[in-house]
Structure 1
Amino acid sequence: MNQAELHRILALKSQENKDSLDLDVLYNRRLSANISLIKTHFFSLYQEVEHKDYFFKLLDQIALLFKARPTELKNQDLERLNSGNWYQSEKMVGMQLYVDRFNKDINGLKEKLPYFQDLGINFLHLMPITTRPTGENDGGYAVNSYHEIDGKYGTKKDFLDFAKKARENNMFLMLDFVVNHTSDEFEWAEKAKKGSLHHQNYYYTYADRHIPDEFEKTLPEIFPQSAPGNFTYNEEMEKWVMTCFNTYQWDLNYRNPEVFIEMLGNLMSLANLGVDVIRFDALAFLWKKLGTLSQNLPEAHTLISLFRMCLQVIAPGVILLAEAIVAPRNIIKYFGEGISEGNECEIAYNASLMALLWNSIATKKASLMLKSLTEIPNKPNDGTWINYIRCHDDIGLGYDDDFVRAMGSDPTAHKQFILNYYTGRLEWSPAKGLMFMYNPKNGDGRITGSAASLLGLETALELKNKIIIDYAISKILMMHGIILTYGGIPMIYAGDEIATLNDYSYEQNQDHVNDNRWVNRPIQNWDVVASLNKTKENPSTIVYNGLKNMIRLRKEHVLFKDSNEVKIHGCPNEHVFVYERTYKNDSVWVLSNFNELTETLDIGWLLSIGIHAGKNSIDLLTQETFNLIHNALPLKPFQQLWIKNI
C-alpha cells in the first residue's frame, strides 16, 4: 500500500463518520500519515543538526500552502481520492501541444475544445505558457516565473477561465514544472547577479574554475553543439554558474534546503491554476555530486519523493509525471523504490517503448522490442505510463546495450545505423529526419522530424508513389495503435493526427535556426482540418479517421485501462509484435507487422496463445472476421489487428 491509497482510505472513513466536509480535518490526517516520511526524506538530504529549523519552516510552508489552495480545488482533490487511480482509466487519451502554434493563445485554444472532443481527446499537455526571456528560451523551458502567464498567450484570468471550462468538460490539464533550473532572468538569478550571496547559494556558483573543472571530468554534455560544457561565466557576479542545459538556464542548488521550500511554493502556485498533472521536467538532473554523471542519483529520487509527500498533504488530487528520458532500467525507479515504492511519481514517460518502436520501423523487426520489454521489471500497480511515438523534443536512442548485444549486434554500430536510417544517410530509407546534437566524441546523436516525415510520408508524396504513401499511412496508424492499446495513457503529438510533415520554416527564424527540433513543432494547419472528409483518399483524412476510430474503441473496452495486464507473446515471426490485454475473462490481442512484406502466423501458434482463428474471432478495427490461407493468418505490410474472440 502506498501513501495515496492510505489517504484514500482515510478520506472514505471520514465520509462514513459524516465529517467529510471538514477539509481541515482531512488535511491534518494526511499530514499525520505523511509526516514521518517527510521527516525521513528531509533529514536524509539535509543533516538534522544543521537544518532542524528548516524542517519546521517546511511544515509552516505546507500549512500556508494548504490554506491558500482554492476551496473548489480542495473539493476536487477529495473527489479524485475517492475515484481511485483515475489516471489509469481507458478513457484517458492525451494530446501535447504548443498553445500559440495550435491556435494563437489560450482563448484560441478554448475555441478548439470541440475539436478535441470530436477526436476523443480529454487530456491536454500544454507546453510552457509562463513568462520567459525574449529571444532564445528553450521553447519556454527557461522560466522567468512558474505561475505568471506570458502575455503572448493571454492573462492569468484567461487561463483560469480555460481551466474551469476544461473541468466542466471533464478534460484534464498538464503543465510543466521546470524543477531543475530557472532562466538567468528569474528573480533569484537577478538578485544573485547583483551580489546577493544568499541568492547565489540558490545556484551552483564558483569564484574560480577549480570545482567546475572537477565536475566537468564526469558531467556529460546535454547540447554539445549549441551549449558545450556545463558552466558559464557571469561577468556581473564575476563567478562561474552551472548551466547543464543552456547558458541562460541556471541549475538550482537543492543542497540548499531553502531552495526546496521555495520551489514547493512555486509548485503549488502552478497547481492552483487548476492543473491536474504536473510534469517534472529534467528531474533526473536534480542532485549534483562530484565524480558522478549527476543523473539519476539516489538523492534525486529522495527529493522527488519529498515533493510528492508534501504535495499529497496539500493537494492529493494533483499528480506528478516524471520526465526522465533515461535508460530502461532507470525509468522504472521514478515510480519509487524501497520505502519510496509507489511514492515518487504516479506517471512516467515510456521512453523505452518509444525508442523501441522507432527501432522496429528501421530494422523491420520486433526482436529488440520483445527482449527489452519482457526483461524490464514491471512498474508498481499504482503507476502508469505516458505512451507516445513523438513529442516536442528530439528522439533519443535509449536502448539497453546489453540487450542489443544479446541480439547479436554491436551497440555503437546499431545506433549509427538507426541514426543513418532516419537522417537521410541511407539512400534507400524513406525517412526524412534531421540529426540533432551529434557528438563526434562518442558518436552519439538524436533525431528530429515529424512522425509522418520520419515514417516516409513526405518522401512518398514527393515521389507521388501510391504504394509507399499507403505504407506510410499504415505505419502512422500502426504506431499510434500500439500506444493506444499498450498499458498507460496514450499521448498524441498535435499535428500527428492529421499527418503533418516537417516544418522547415524554422530555418528562417533567428530564434529557432540553431535548434532543429522546431522542424517537428509545426503550426496547426486548420485549413487541412477544415478539409477533412472532403477527400476520402487524403492522407490527413485517413489518419484522422483511423485515430478517431481507435480512440473510440479504446474507450469502449475497459480492458485497455492500465492494471498491469499486458502480456507480451514471444512471436515466432521476428517481424510481428504481439501482446494481449485482458480484463476478467475478456481479452484482445494486438498484432503489428513491422515489415514491408506480408507476414504470416501459423494457426497452431495463434491457438496456443488463445486466439480462435478464422471465423471465430474478429478484428475490432474493421469488425471483420479472418480468412486463413494454408492454415496461416496473413498480415499485410505494416498491418495491425486488434483481435477479439467471438
Structure 2
Amino acid sequence: MLEELAKKLTGSLDFIYPDIDTDYLAQQLIKTMGLDKQCHQPGDHQNNWDEADILLITYADSILNHAKPDEKPLQTLYHFLKDKLQDNISAVHILPFFPYSSDDGFSVMDYLAVNESHGEWEDIKRISSEFKFMSDLVINHMSARSRWFDNFKKRIDPGKDYFFEASPDADVNAVVRPRTSPLLNPVQTEDGERYVWCTFSEDQVDLNFKNPKVLLEFVNIIRHYMENGVQIFRLDAVAFLWKEVGTPSIHLQQTHEIIKLLRLLIAHYNPNAVIITETNVPNRENLTYFGNANEAHVIYNFSLPPLLIYTLISGDCRHLKTWLMSMPPAQMGTTYLNFIASHDGVGLRPTDGLLQDQEKNELISTMQQFGGRVAYRRASEGVDKPYEMNISLYDALKGTIEHGPDKWQLQRFVCAHAIMLALEGIPAIYIHSMLGTENDYARMENTGRNRSINRSQWDVGQLEEALANKFSHHSKVFEQLSNLITIRKKQTAFHPNATQFTLHLGLQIFGFWRQSMRREQSIFCIFNVSSETQQIALSDINLIGTDNWTDLISGLEIEDQAGMLTLTPYQALWLSNK
C-alpha cells in the first residue's frame, strides 16, 4: 500500500517540484503523516455523508457565559451544542480557534495551539467526540506576528524561506485580488529590505510553497489536527496558494496538485476524513476543485447565497433556476456544501455571468437599504469593484427590491432555508442564522470592520431567554428551522448525492425534484418566492398518479391530483410519495 501511495504522491510532486528528489520527498511526507506506522486504504468514490448530515458554522466565542467568567467559550459552546442542537446537527465547523493577530482568527500566529482565551485541545477533543469536527487549515497565509515570520526577518529557520517574496518592480498587474490593499509590502530583515506578497492584508503574509519545507510543515499540522479529532478540513483561500509573477496567481495547476497530494495523505490516515475547498470565485472556476474526484471531496456552492437572496427579494427565480440547471451532478465521493450565510459576507464574484450589472446594483442597493455594507476588491484593470455584501441573513431578507421592508421577513427567511435544505449537497447553517441574529452595528463600529456586522457574540443567558420567549423572532426561527432539519434528516431523497432535476413552474414558483439513489422516494420541492399568493396546477408538477403524495412540512395530503395548489407568500412544500 505504501509503495502505491508513494508512487501517486511522486506523480504530483514531479509537477510541483521538478528540480528536487521527489522520491525522497514522498517518503518524508509519508513519515511526517505517520503513515509508515499506520496506514488505511481509502475506498474509491466513497461518500462520507448522508441525508442526516447537517453542518453548523460558528466561532469558538459566538456564545459567551458572562455569568461564569471562568468558563472558556469552547466549554460554553459545547454545552449549548449538547443542550440545544444535539438533535439538529451532525457536524460543527469552528472557525479558526488558534492564536491570531487579526481577521477574527484568519491571521494565525501558531497553527499547533488553541487560543488560550477560547480553551484548549481537550475542549476540541470533547466536541469532536460528539460531532464530526471541521477545522480551517489557513494554508495560504500566516500572521506577520508569528514566530515563523519573526524568523523570516531574522533570516533563520524555521521561517527564513517560508514566505513568498517578489521584486517591487515585478509585473503584478494580472494578479487577481480579493482586496484593495497593496499586494507587495516592504519588510526590514537582517538582510535588508524585502517585499513580501500579501493577498489579503499586510498582517497576512502569503506562504511560499515553492519551498517543500512549507509543505512538510503543513502535513505535520494536519496530522496534529487529526490526532485531536479533526475529521473535516476546510482549505481556506486555497485558490491563491501558488504564485507566479506575471500570471493571475489563482487556480494554478500546482495548487491543484497540492490539493490532490493532501487528499491522498489525509485519506490514508483516515478514510472517513473530508477535504472542503474554500474558493469564493465564479462558479465555473469553483467547479474545477473537484478535479477528477481526486481533489476536494466537497466544494462550497458560493453562487447560492447571492442568487437565493436576489430571488427572494425580487420575487423572480429565473437566475436561480438557470444556475441550478447548469450545475453538474457531483460524482460519487464528492458533493456540494450548500450555505446561504457564513462568517464572511455574501460574495459577489460568484454571480459573474449569472446576474447582469443592473441586477447586481439592485441587490447591492437593497442590502444597503436593509443596513448592510459593501466591501471592494482591486480588479486587474486597476479599478475597485464590489466584492461582497456584509449583512446578517435575517436582515437581508426583511423586504423586497420594489417595496422595501415588509411583514414577510420570517416567512422569507424560513423559505430560504427550506430551499437550501432540500438541494443536492450537504447543508451548512451559520449559527446566527439558526438564532435569527440581526445586524450588529455596535460590534461593527467597535472593530471598524464591515464583516463584524454578522459576527455577533451572544451571552448564553440572554440567548436562552430569547429562545424561551415564544413571541420572539429568535424563538420562531429556531423552532421552524429545527422542524425543517428534523424532517430533512429522515428523507433518503435528500441524500447529498440523490438525483435532482429543475422544474419549470414560472418566475414566482421555484421548484426541483429529488429522487433517492434506490428510487424508493421522490420529493417535489415547490416554493413561492414572491410576496403574493400563487396558484399552480398539480398536473404541471407531474406527480405519479399511482402514488400517494403528502407535504412533509405541513402534513397536507394531496387528494385530487388534477386540482390546484395554492401557495401563500414564501410557502415551501416538500411533496413526498412516502
**TM-score of the pair, normalised by structure 2:** 0.90
Q: Deviation above 6 Å: which 4+ runs of structure 1?
A: 627-630
Identify which of 407, 418, 422 aligns with 1:485. 422
- Give the Cα–Cα distance (whole angstroms) in 2 for the partners of residues 629 and 525 of structure 1: 50
- Give the Cα–Cα distance (whole angstroms) in 1 for the partners of residues 342 and 255 of structure 2: 24
Q: Please name the residue that 1:543 is paired with.
A: 477
Q: Please name the residue that 1:437 is paired with.
A: 376
Cα 1:612–1:432 change in 2 (3 A) is: farther
Secondary structure of 1:218 counterpart:
coil
- Give the Cα–Cα distance (whole angstroms) in 2 for the partners of residues 295 and 438 of structure 1: 15
Counterpart contact for 2:88–2:486, Cα < 8 Å: yes
- Give the Cα–Cα distance (whole angstroms) in 1 for the partners of residues 307 and 99 of structure 2: 36
Q: Please name the residue that 2:504 is paired with.
A: 570
Aligned pair 1:186/2:146, yes or no? yes
Identify which of 476, 488, 491 aligns with 2:413. 476
Aligned pair 1:143/2:108, yes or no? yes
Q: Deviation string for 1:457-510 (max 9, x for gaps)?
A: 899xxx9x9xx34x111111111112211122111111212211111122442x
Secondary structure of 2:550 counterpart:
strand
Q: Deviation string for 1:5-28 (max 9, x for gaps)?
A: xxxxxxxxxxxxxxxxxxxxxxxx
Correspondence 1:553-564 to 2 at 5 A: 553-564=487-498
Q: Please name the residue that 1:593 is paired with.
A: 528
- Give the Cα–Cα distance (whole angstroms) in 1 for the partners of residues 32 and 352 of structure 2: 48
Q: Please name the residue that 2:432 is paired with.
A: 495
Q: CA deviation at 1:401?
A: 4.3
Identify which of 552, 555, 562 aligns with 2:486. 552
Q: In the alignment, residue 489 of structure 2 is paired with which amino acid?
A: K
- Give the Cα–Cα distance (whole angstroms) in 1 for the partners of residues 574 and 559 of structure 2: 15
- Give the Cα–Cα distance (whole angstroms) in 2 for the partners of residues 185 and 458 of structure 1: 45
Q: Please name the residue that 2:97 is paired with.
A: 129
- Give the Cα–Cα distance (whole angstroms) in 2 for the partners of residues 379 and 629 of structure 1: 33
Q: Deviation string for 1:64-118 (max 9, x for gaps)?
A: 432698x8xx8xx78xx68984533111111111111223522222222323445
- Give the Cα–Cα distance (whole angstroms) in 2 for the partners of residues 83 and 621 of structure 1: 36
Counterpart contact for 2:303–2:351, Cα < 8 Å: no
Q: Which is helix-richer, 1 or 2?
A: 1
Q: Please name the residue that 1:308 is paired with.
A: 263
Q: CA deviation at 1:626?
A: 5.2
Q: Please name the residue that 1:422 is paired with.
A: 367
Counterpart contact for 2:346–2:389, Cα < 8 Å: yes
- Give the Cα–Cα distance (whole angstroms) in 2 for the partners of residues 535 and 188 of structure 1: 49
Q: Please name the residue that 2:337 is paired with.
A: 386
- Give the Cα–Cα distance (whole angstroms) in 1 for the partners of residues 531 and 168 of structure 2: 55
Q: Please name the residue that 1:354 is paired with.
A: 305
Q: Please name the residue that 1:285 is paired with.
A: 240
- Give the Cα–Cα distance (whole angstroms) in 2 for the partners of residues 637 and 159 of structure 1: 43
Secondary structure of 2:458 counterpart:
coil
Q: In the alignment, residue 524 of structure 1 is paired with which amino acid?
A: W
Q: Deviation string for 1:441-472 (max 9, x for gaps)?
A: 2542321111111111899xxx9x9xx34x11
Q: Please name the residue that 2:124 is paired with.
A: 159
Identify which of 565, 576, 582 aligns with 2:515. 582
Identify which of 36, 61, 65 aligns with 1:100. 61
Q: Work out the number of aligned pairs and report it.
A: 562
Q: Deviation string for 1:152-203 (max 9, x for gaps)?
A: 012233333x24xx42x3x111010001111112232111101349844322
Secondary structure of 1:435 counterpart:
strand
Secondary structure of 1:99 counterpart:
coil
Secondary structure of 2:541 counterpart:
helix
Counterpart contact for 1:416–1:443, Cα < 8 Å: no
Secondary structure of 1:88 counterpart:
coil
Q: In the alignment, residue 168 of structure 2 is paired with which amino acid?
A: R
Aligned pair 1:209/2:168, yes or no? yes
- Give the Cα–Cα distance (whole angstroms) in 2 for the partners of residues 37 and 232 of structure 1: 38
Counterpart contact for 1:598–1:634, Cα < 8 Å: yes
Q: Please name the residue that 1:13 is paired with.
A: none
- Give the Cα–Cα distance (whole angstroms) in 2 for the partners of residues 438 and 596 of structure 1: 34
Counterpart contact for 2:395–2:438, Cα < 8 Å: yes
Aligned pair 1:397/2:362, yes or no? no
Q: Please name the residue that 1:635 is paired with.
A: 567
Q: Deviation string for 1:497-525 (max 9, x for gaps)?
A: 2211111122442xx21x11011011135
Aligned pair 1:523/2:457, yes or no? yes
Counterpart contact for 1:477–1:543, Cα < 8 Å: yes
Q: In the alignment, residue 233 of structure 1 is paired with which amino acid?
A: P
Counterpart contact for 2:549–2:577, Cα < 8 Å: yes
Secondary structure of 1:174 counterpart:
strand
Cα 1:472–1:525 change in 2 (3 A) is: farther
- Give the Cα–Cα distance (whole angstroms) in 1 for the partners of residues 207 and 469 of structure 2: 52
Correspondence 1:313-332 to 2 at 5 A: 313-332=268-287
Identity value in percent: 23
5+ residue gaps in structure 2?
65-71
- Give the Cα–Cα distance (whole angstroms) in 1 for the partners of residues 395 and 157 of structure 2: 50
Counterpart contact for 1:62–1:314, Cα < 8 Å: no
Cα 1:144–1:533 change in 2 (3 A) is: closer
Aligned pair 1:51/2:20, yes or no? yes
Counterpart contact for 1:347–1:385, Cα < 8 Å: yes
Aligned pair 1:621/2:553, yes or no? yes
- Give the Cα–Cα distance (whole angstroms) in 1 for the partners of residues 300 and 194 of structure 2: 36
- Give the Cα–Cα distance (whole angstroms) in 2 for the partners of residues 380 and 83 of structure 1: 11
Counterpart contact for 1:593–1:635, Cα < 8 Å: yes
Cα 1:586–1:449 change in 2 (3 A) is: same
Q: Please name the residue that 1:365 is paired with.
A: 316
Cα 1:605–1:323 change in 2 (3 A) is: same
- Give the Cα–Cα distance (whole angstroms) in 2 for the partners of residues 400 and 155 of structure 1: 40
- Give the Cα–Cα distance (whole angstroms) in 1 for the partners of residues 400 and 376 of structure 2: 23
Secondary structure of 1:210 counterpart:
coil
Q: Deviation string for 1:374-406 (max 9, x for gaps)?
A: 1233322211121111000011123454444xx
Cα 1:525–1:619 change in 2 (3 A) is: farther
Q: CA deviation at 1:372?
A: 1.4
Q: Deviation string for 1:103-137 (max 9, x for gaps)?
A: 3522222222323445511210001111122xxx1
Counterpart contact for 1:179–1:283, Cα < 8 Å: yes
Counterpart contact for 2:6–2:23, Cα < 8 Å: no
- Give the Cα–Cα distance (whole angstroms) in 1 for the partners of residues 568 and 459 of structure 2: 31
Counterpart contact for 2:110–2:146, Cα < 8 Å: yes
- Give the Cα–Cα distance (whole angstroms) in 1 for the partners of residues 357 and 232 of structure 2: 37
Secondary structure of 1:311 counterpart:
helix
Q: Deviation string for 1:282-326 (max 9, x for gaps)?
A: 011011123322111222111111111222233333221111111
Cα 1:231–1:623 change in 2 (3 A) is: same
